[in-house]
Structure 1
């Protein structure tokens, strides 16, 4: 499923400029990443969700225009932790399902890639810079924890992240865990380049 919501008219979106996107796209293509879902990356996302005890987790590769969740874990629709049914867009329609694609204006991973540092948002609403992101109102996101996937070339390929619909006290332990898991996945990606698999 692909979800490319329209950009709200007159709304200032603070998605950072990404000067490294062309180099990232070339690197991802060489690695064969970012264009299709991969069972190994879905399994990694499942593990992220289990470790962090969250309903949503992603292995996210970002190009010039979109984010692609090559690894994705979501709860069963209507199950515990699912996006609230009350979240709706301006037309009164139900909130979109979490699919494999998202524009760069949605979410927080583009910030992680450009900053090249982990991002901890225990309650997104506490941060004016991030509280206005469309995922907050339209999808019910309240908490985010993500780390960049920086390989040996120095390119930030994407992120690993976990998301919840409730505020979460991630703390130092959460930050260290997401950074450790990001480093682990980078190691797997680099082994893939050498002929191994993820």
Structure 2
């Protein structure tokens, strides 16, 4: 019988994978401060998310930074930003806005794995199908890539797109999200050069 993967924890019932352990979180938070990234919307990142959604034909896109307790979408695009559609909010009606619990979604897994993650149908993966955003928001597909800082080597966060329908992202989608992640890291370093402006 094999031991569990070291970066994971399981809930008390042993049935659902929960958020992976993130030993880099304190260093990430410190590095984000150095880069001038705070828990405020960044118009440049909103524009980046909008372009990412359009390039991949996705209804939602995020530039997401993760600390010890939560995720913050410094860049966010939803259908309501540009076209008719539903808000990114739990079906019970309480809006997530730009903040999401760390145990929601798949970005924390991408940060810990330090690799892109392609989920064309999250329900095909027992490891990911039980995530709260499946039932609360109705997300069925996810495509995300880590933002690896050149200087520290830390995964600072992610960029991602999601859909409430099954999506065949394919190899092309994977290459697009990875190329955009590199571009977003470039933008982060340009912000640092400008003093976080």
TM-score by length of 1: 0.85
CA displacement at 1:34 relative to structure 2: 3.5
CA positional deviation for 1:84: 9.3
Alignment correspondent of 2:107: 109
Mapped pair 1:160 → 2:164: no
Tell me which residue corresponds to 2:33: 29
Q: Which has the larger displacement, 11-20 or 138-147? A: 11-20
In structure 2, the residue corresponding to 1:58 is in which secondary structure?
strand
- Residue matched to 1:5: none
Q: CA deviation at 1:12?
A: 4.3
Runs of 4+ in 1 over 6 A off after TM superposition: 8-11
State whether structure 2 residue 129 is matched by structure 1 residue 131.
yes
The alpha-carbon deviation at position 193 of structure 1 amounts to 1.4
CA contact (8 A) 2:19 2:103 kept: yes
The answer (yes or no) to whether the contact 2:88–2:97 under 8 Å persists in 1 is no
Q: Distance in 2 between matches of 1:161 and 1:15?
A: 17
Check if 1:65 corresponds to 2:69: yes
User: Are 1:178 and 2:182 matched, yes or no?
Assistant: no
TM-superposed CA distance for 1:97, in Å, is 3.1
State the Cα distance separating 1:75 from its structure 2 match. Answer: 1.1
How far is 1:82 from its partner? 2.4
Q: Secondary structure at the match of 1:120?
A: strand
SS of the aligned residue for 1:23 comes to: helix
Q: Could you say if the C-alpha distance between residues 188 and 39 of structure 1 is closer, same or farther in structure 2, counting changes exceeding 3 Å?
A: same
Give, in whole Å, the separation in 1 of the partners of 2:88 and 2:21.
31
Deviations 1:12-69 (A, max 9, x none): 4521000000000000011111421110000001111111111110000000000000
Aligned residues: 184
- The answer for unaligned runs of 5 or more in structure 2 is 1-10
Q: Which residue of 2 aligns with 1:99?
A: 97
- TM-score, structure 2 normalization: 0.86
CA distance in 2 between counterparts of 1:98 and 1:36 reads 15
